[in-house]
A and B are shown apart, each in its own frame.
Chain A
Amino acid sequence: MDLNHLRNEIEEKRKMVREDMDRYIDIFVRSLKASSSEVEVTTDPEVVEKYRRDIQEDGGNSIVTFADSASVSPAILFFTGLEQEISTAMADHHISVILAEDIMPDVISAYRLALLKSIERGHGVIFGSSSASKTADIEGKLVWGAHGPKRFRVVVVR
């Protein structure tokens, strides 16, 4: 795998999103809402600390993580690392922070950005989430929180 080629390709895609950021974020937010995810767009640099404090005070089984990349539509957030995979899978509420610069125009380039980061960090696992956990296995009735998080909240930091 040619990592330099991968970096250049990602940079091209980043440039494309940067030039039309408002529109891309708008599509991203709508796509997440269509998957019943909660979304917030903020410019507040303290937002992560705020959520971490809230979680500590709440005492529930929640987790705040940084996503490594995301695709605009369908909106899928990618993460890397086995430990993070386990802790997000076990949480009841997953709050994921994504930097606007890591939003990619399509799923393939979002996956590639996560792949690049996983290789740089020596992580052997990449995982993507687009919503809370769900099932319709009992008489087709939709139930949230089958095994993974019951709530999935995405915080976009511009």
Chain B
Amino acid sequence: MGCSRSKEIQGGCGEVTGMESIYTALSNRPVRDGIRRTRENLSKNVKENLKKYPFLKKYARELRDVKLKVINDLDFWIDRSIKKLEENGARVFYARDSESARRIVAEIVGSGKTVVKAKSVVSEEIGLRDHLEDMGNEVWETDLGELIVQVNNEKPMHMIVPALHLSEDEVIRILERVGIKGKNAEECTDKVRLFLREKFLKADFGISGCNAFSAESGSIFLIENEGNIRLSTSVPEKYIAIVGVEKIVPDDEHAIKSIMVQSAYFGTFPPSYINVIRNRQPGELCVVFLDNGRKSTDEILKEQLLCVRCGRCHLECPIFQLTGNVWGGETYGGPMGMGWSAITSGISSIENEVFLSCLCGKCRIVCPMEINIPRIILHLRKLAVRQTAK
């Protein structure tokens, strides 16, 4: 897997960077087909979910207010969360930036270990997998789509559906590289199940992100459909959770509401599995809270922190529909990726890309948190112009 994943376009190992990669993506038909297929499947589900369970809209409105309250007083909620976790017997760490987070996790894991990872955008944000591999560890993504893009050495095309741009035939060929041989989606899935079972059983560490964190009980809330998160967080003796500080909500009730809203607005509701981890006994729970720009956002950009990462804005965005995750920044991509990239990597990471948005506002309409993404993008354009003028 010897080529850089940075801004790589599916189908080749030649590194293409910046705006060039976006223009190349425009001629990449499978990306558009995959996004269209995913959108058709999921948009219908979202509409049905909201019709069948009208309380979800109420949850979303309530959650926006609660998350705003937390984001306006992050230090207080971080302190409270750390105290509760320590009472529960967890080892707790605070990382100011990506480098610090990588260093903390690397010190916990060491080298020569086997690590199973649940799909986690925050771990992508800090470049964790590459770092742990460089330290001499064997690291496996365990979500099926994420494993496929790991083996194909590319970045996820969507944060929840990472391999949406790949055809069944392509996936069959990709998985063969690690000895997984199946004739179709069903067989491949079954073979991956067996392949990863062995990894789960021998893993020294499991690593996940966090969908919501309750400061009341010090619990990590995670949702999924495959069961790989459940295995990653329970089977290895040691489990590390990386928690973006904006994931904190005051109590368990709002954590449940947050994961309900996230899964409903993504389009798979109810989630097959909910995992809530308060402590890991027997075993060890390590929690790394990550700031990485979240605490120092300006007033306009702060609204992005309300995001529950449902991925809805990606699929509905006319620009994302053309380019996929190539547009919007190194990790996050899409309309929400503009704000997130600026927060976590600085304005220079998207200084050209912000001008490609058509500002149609569909992202704002479909967002359960009603985040005014067009306003954020306009704000980022101003910042980008000011920076260029300097």
Contacts and interface: CB of A to CB of B under 8 A. Distances in A.
A23 B14 CA distance: 61
Contacts of A76: 270, 274
A132 interface: yes
Nearest to A71: B270
Interface in A92-116: 106-108, 111-112, 115
Contact of B260 (A86, A107, A148): A107
Interface size class, chain B: 35 or more
Contact of B273 (A1, A90, A125, A129): A129
A147 B196 contact: yes
A138 B168 contact: yes
A136 B29 CA distance: 20
Contacts, number: 153
Nearest to B264: A74
Interface residues of A, number: 43
Nearest to A128: B274
Interface in B275-304: 275-283
Contacts of A146: 144, 189, 192-193, 225-228
A59 interface: no
A126 B256 CA distance: 12
B163 A89 contact: no
Contacts of B171: 138-139
Given A128-B274, A130-B271, A139 B143 contact: no
Given A108-B253, A124-B88, A137-B145, A143 B189 contact: yes
B186 interface: yes
Contacts of B279: 124-125
Contacts of B94: none
A61 to B, nearest CB: 11
Given A131-B272, A133-B226, A147-B228, A85 B234 contact: yes
Given A108-B253, A115-B252, A135-B144, A145 B190 contact: yes
B216 interface: yes
Nearest to B168: A139
B93 interface: no
Contacts of A128: 273-276
A133 B145 contact: no
A130 B274 CA distance: 9
B148 A137 contact: yes
B188 interface: yes
Contacts of A141: 168, 185-186
B328 interface: no
B253 to A, nearest CB: 6
A89 B186 CA distance: 19
Interface of A: 1, 35, 73-76, 78, 82, 85-86, 89-90, 106-108, 111-112, 115, 118, 124-141, 143, 145-149
Given A140-B164, A147-B227, 17 more contacts: A78-B274, A111-B252, A112-B252, A125-B278, A126-B274, A126-B276, A126-B278, A127-B276, A129-B274, A135-B144, A136-B161, A138-B148, A138-B188, A143-B186, A143-B189, A148-B227, A148-B231
